[in-house]
Structure 1
Amino acid sequence: MAVCVSVIAKENYPLFIKTIPTENELKFYYTVHTSLDVVEEKVSAVGKTANDLRELYLGLLYPTEDYKVYGYVTNTKIKFVIVVETSNTSLRDNEIRSMFRKLHNAYVDMLCNPFYTPGENITSKAFERIVNSMMLQD
């Protein structure tokens, strides 16, 4: 399961970041922030080779010693970043894709709320419940 889930606006500011409670949560914020360069690089490389047939799932952005960072970009350039522990080898690529699909569906449901203004921080309890179901449970 995930140790950090984030939603990043197309202008690269965070709309939502949820981490597991640790003594060093700032490390996850830094990891998400540094992954945005890799996301932009992958999106621009795909944009040059294919017309509008872009894969939303970007796959593994980069591994660190303790974590693996995965990325996903919507058609409206909203970025989802999920960080999982490297020691959790039971997660397969199709399970990561499933997590992103679930997160994307929750984001779309939250976006359909007439009281939400696009570009504001996400405060939806239903969205947070779905993200909590994806987080690492001890």
Structure 2
Amino acid sequence: MALCAAIFDKKDILVFIKIKEKGINSETSTEISRFLYNSFDIILDKINYPGAKATQDLYIGSLLINSSFRSFGYLTNTNTKFLLVTDVENNLLKDHEIRLFF
């Protein structure tokens, strides 16, 4: 299940964030926000240092996984970045289903 969705503009400014409210306490909300910004750092690294596997695919895929959360990223052709944070226990969402979401 998606816990958080965020959009960063081309200047890397957060323009939208929505964290699931039902069943989430303030401590977990803070953990999700921290995880989101860690994932955003990874997306910036993948954009700025693409390495040998530079590709035209805008779907970046799985960015970061820990014991509680998993994040996915998408980059538009205008450099807008979409991030989605899900709970790691949800095995229903597969990578190709997340790709369809973006």
Whether TM-score is above 0.5 comes out as yes
| Match in the other structure for 1:12 | 12
Determine which of 64, 83, 93 is the counterpart of 1:91. Answer: 93
Counterpart check, 1:56 vs 2:32: no
| Match in the other structure for 1:30 | 34
Determine which of 64, 77, 80 is the counterpart of 2:79. Answer: 77
Structure with more of its chain in strand, by fraction: 2
Cα drift, residue 87 of structure 1: 0.5
How many residue pairs are counted as aligned between the two chains? 98
Cα shift readout 1:100-128 (whole Å, capped 9, x = no counterpart): 1xxxxxxxxxxxxxxxxxxxxxxxxxxxx
Cα drift, residue 86 of structure 1: 0.5
| Match in the other structure for 1:126 | none
Cα distance in 2 for residues equivalent to 1:31 and 1:64:
9
Per the normalisation by structure 2, the TM-score is 0.85
Matched-pair contact (CA < 8 Å) for 1:8–1:79: yes
Amino acid at match of 1:3: L
| Match in the other structure for 1:44 | 48
Cα distance in 2 for residues equivalent to 1:47 and 1:94:
24
| Match in the other structure for 1:65 | 67
Larger radius of gyration: 1
Cα drift, residue 33 of structure 1: 1.3
Q: Which consecutive unaligned segments of at least 5 residues does structure 1 have?
A: 101-138
Cα distance in 2 for residues equivalent to 1:69 and 1:49:
20
RMSD (CA atoms): 1.7
Cα distance in 2 for residues equivalent to 1:47 and 1:63:
21
Provide the identity percentage.
32
Q: Which consecutive unaligned segments of at least 5 residues does structure 2 have?
A: none
The 1:86/1:42 distance shift into structure 2, 3 A limit, reads: same
Cα shift readout 1:10-64 (whole Å, capped 9, x = no counterpart): 22221110011121222222221121211011123337654xx521111110101
The 1:73/1:47 distance shift into structure 2, 3 A limit, reads: farther
Cα shift readout 1:81-109 (whole Å, capped 9, x = no counterpart): 00011100121111101111xxxxxxxxx
| Match in the other structure for 2:3 | 3
Cα distance in 1 for residues equivalent to 2:19 and 2:64:
18
